[in-house]
Structure 1
Amino acid sequence: MTEALKRDYRVCEEIGRGRFGVVRRCELLDPSAAPSSFAIKSIDKSIVSGDDLDSHCLLTEHKVLSLLPPHPNLLRIHNAYEDSSHLHLILDLCDSPDLHRAVVSAGPLPEAEAARIIAQLMRAVAHCHRHGVIHRDIKPDNILFDSRGLLRLADFGSAEVIGGGEPVAALRGVVGTPYYVAPEVVAGREYGEKVDVWSAGVVLYVMLAGFPPFRGESAVEIFGAVLRANLRFPPRFFRSVSSTAKDLLKKMLCRDASRRPSADQVLSHQWVTSYGGAEATDLII
C-alpha cells in the first residue's frame, strides 16, 4: 500500500472478497473527521489488466462514480490510491446485509418498508438520469445499506454515460442480469433510461413476493418470459398486497417503454407518497 494511504487510513479487518480483490474496513486517522469508518476496495491490477469486459467494468465504475455529483443514496468514492500492484478505492462503509440477503433471510417485506426502499432507490436512479447516467444493472445484490439503514446504490460497472450536453443517444446491447433486464434490451432494440425503471420494478416485485415476476430454468427461458412480460400476481403471495402497489408494478413493468413512468414519476405515485415520502431512517433491514 502507498505511503499516502498508510498516512491517511488505518486498514482493519477483511469484510469481503471477490474475484478482483479484497474489501476491508478502514478508519480515517484524522480524529476530527466524520465519518471516520470506510471500506477500502483493493483491486489487483494484474488480474484486471487488459481489454477484457471485466476490466472495462471496473474502470467504468470508477469513472462514473467520480463523475456523478454526490447523492445520499449512491455509494460514493471518497478517495483513490494506486501502487505498483493495486488500485485502492475508499468507499462508503455498508456493513448491513444487501437487499438480496435481506429478502432471502426475512422473506417478503411489509409494504411500508418496501415503499421506503423503492423511494430511496428511485431517488438515486432519478439523480443518475438527471446527470446522463443509466445504471443498467439494478438488482437486489447492488442495493446496499449503511449502519443507519440508508440505501446506497452500488456497482456502476455496466453503467453508460449518455449526457454531457450532447443529444441523448439510444443504446443497444444486452447488459444486465437476466431476471432484471428490460424487454427492449432482450429484444435488441434501442433503449434508454427507462430500462432502470423496469429493473427497479422487478426489485419491487421481489420485495413484495420473495421471487421475481419473470422466471425460467435457464437464461434463454428467463429472457423469453421477460419478452412476453405476462405480469401475474399469484393470490397466495399477493392477497394482502394493496391495489395501489399492484398498480405501480403494472406501470413500472409495462413492456412498452414509452408508457413506462420515469424515475421521478414513480416517486410521485400514490403508493410511494402514501408512506410519507418514504424517508428511510428506520428500516428493519
Structure 2
Amino acid sequence: MKFYWLFLFLLLGACDSKDIGSSSMVGQHTVIKVQLHEDVENVVSGSSLKFEKECMSQVNMCWYKISKSFSDDNLPSVMVNGSLKLDQVASASIAVDQDVGSNVESLDLSIRSLPDGSRHEEYQAFLYKLLKEIKSTGWVHYYSPSDPRISGAESDKIQSPNKVLGDYVLSHPWLDPDYEIDLERWLKIGKFYNWHFYKDGDHLTLKAWRRDSDDAPDERGTYLVSLSFTTEREYFVSGFSETEDKKRWKELLPRRLEEYKKIRGVREKKAVDAGIKIDTGYQDPPIQALRN
C-alpha cells in the first residue's frame, strides 16, 4: 500500500491529459459525472471528452482513466452519485469487473490540495473542510466491522495513533470524521490518514499521504489527497483473497461477519475495562445484498 501511494505521488505530476466520464462545462471547468452502479458505457457514451481504457484479461477487469498534471491550470471537477462535487481532480480511475457485468464498481480520485511545502495546520484545515463537505452530502462515519466502536470523543484516552489498547484498527478514534484533533496528535499519526464513510450501501475512504519537508518537518509538508468510492459488493468482495471465494462472497459473508462481530466484542470489552466508552448508538449499516 505504501508503495502504491509513493508511486502515485511521483507519477501524477508528470501525467498527460486524458478525460473520462459524462461531462459538462461550468465556466471553463469540466464537470465529470460518475454514478456508482451505472453501466460504464452510459458514462462514457454521454461524454464529449476523451478517455483512456485499459483492461487486464487475466483478471477480466477494465479501467477508464483521466490523468492530468497537478500543476494544470484547468483541472476538472467530478460529481459523484449526483451530489458530492470534488474540485481540482488530477486523476480519476473507474474500475469495472467484467465477471459481474459492466457497471461501475469503484472510483478513485486524486485531487490537488495546497502548494507543496504548506504548513501542516493549513493541510489539516483543508482536510477538515473537505470532511465537512463529504458529510453535508449524506456520507456517514463508518466503523470497520471488527473494530471497536470508539468515537473521537474518547480520543484523549487512546495513546497510540494506530492501535487501540494494543490492537491495530482501521477506524481509529483520532480519525473519526466527526471530531477534530490538535496538531500535536495530527503529526503523531504518521504518514497515512484514512477517514471511512458509507451511504446507501456504498463506501468512501478519504485518504491523505504526508511527506514532511526536509528543512522543517514539524512545520511543513506535502500531502497527496485521494478519495476511493466502492460499491457494497466491491467493498466486501475485496476481503476475500481466493478467486472462488470472491465468487461466493454472498454465501461466505455471513460467517465472516460473525467472526468480525466476535473480534469487535473482545476489543470493546477490553476498552470498557479500561474506562473507554463505546459508541453504542452506532449500528452496522444493513447489507443490501444479504436482503435479497
TM-score past 0.5 threshold: no
Q: TM-score with structure 1 length normalisation?
A: 0.27
Q: TM-score with structure 2 length normalisation?
A: 0.27
Whose relative contact order is higher, 1 or 2, with alpha carbons under 8 Å and at least 6 apart?
1
Larger strand proportion, structure 1 or 2? 2
Larger helix proportion, structure 1 or 2? 1
